[in-house]
Amino acid sequence: MNKKIGTKILGTGSYFPSKVLTNADLEKMVDTSDEWISTRTGIKERRIASSGEYTSDLAYRASLEAIKSANVKLEEIDLVLVATITPDMFFPSTACFLQKKLGLNSVPAFDFSAACSGFIYGIATAKAFIESGLYKNVLLVGSEELSKITDWTDRNTCVLFGDGAGAMVLSASQDNDDVLSVFLGSDGSYADLLLIPGGGSINPATIETLNEKLHSIKMQGREVFKVAISKMAFAAQKALEISEKTIEDIKLFIPHQANMRIIEAVAKKLDISMDKVFVNIHKTGNISSATTITALDEAIKIGKLNKGDLVELIAFGGGFTWGATVLRV
């Protein structure tokens, strides 16, 4: 009798552009201050891609690191998935551009959009493909250049976002299952609270949409804040229940790095000590789908997580979407 196929995490990687944009830099651009930004968001700096550096470029650098960490041959990758809300173009997909840069000719590749929950949606997607037997080694990437869709005259949003990419290689295994649970949710009735209204079929690009800055992020921060806390805590609890684990079993919690006050509020709601919560928002800002995977990669690299430890990733984003996953690293 064949054993059930499980999903093993083979390796992770991340990449950030070299340019750093500090709160002091933003003070020269809009009516704000380091004190105002730090107090309200926890962010001190963020990375910004250069004009000739694209989402697929960040994805490529993170992917190479993840593949090296996974100790697999490039040609063993048989599916490429990219979570992004800042693709190189509407089409072809950023995954296709990444596939070309990696030299993975004929390997299926596609993008998907779940905003800041994207990487957790991607883990669910990779797990489904692997455990169905369709693919064996999946490269999953979260890559974003939010600087390209930010209104740098809007002080309420421009202080929040940055650029970066993270990647993970997941593989079929009959001996291990490192993805213990995934829980996903969404509610489109909240769509107007966080969106880019221009550029699609509702508001195709015109001189008017450009003048009205409809091609940049619009957010009703106070309303998003309230729902984010509730849904992230709910998702975290559900993923723990599915995995049959408790808060005490988890070595480290990695929430979406959107706002320090949201992170603290979610930890309080779940009754988790901040000592068990990984935070790097102060140096990355919000990088949407790339936040949880880049934070996970950093936690592994600096020894916050060791082989066999359990970690829970939790995220919330535009849509609204939310999700959580319990992993064994």
Q: Which residue has the tokens 């995934």?
A: 182
* Cα–Cα nearest to 238, from 311, 179, 115, 325: 325
Contact 231, 272 (CB under 8 A): no
For residue 148, report the phi and psi dihedrals to the nearest 5 degrees.
-80, -15
Catalytic, out of 137, 158, 256, 259 = 256
| Contacts within 8 Å (CB) and 24+ apart, 302-308 | 304/252, 304/278, 305/251, 305/252, 305/329
Respond yes or no: is residue 286 known to be catalytic: yes
Task: Tell me, yes or no, if 215 is annotated catalytic.
Answer: no
Backbone CA torsion sign across 290, 291, 294, 297 = negative
Q: How far apart are CA 38 and CA 283, in angstroms?
A: 11
Q: Look-up: residue for tokens 């800002």?
A: 285
- Range 118-155 burial, b when 16+ CB lie within 10 A, else e: bbbbbbbbbbebbbeeebbbbbbbbbbbbbbbbbeebb
The single residue of 23, 137, 259, 286 carrying the catalytic annotation is 286
Q: Which of 96, 116, 137, 259 is catalytic?
A: 116
Neighbours of 110 (CB within 10 A): 15
Q: What are the catalytic residues?
A: 116, 256, 286
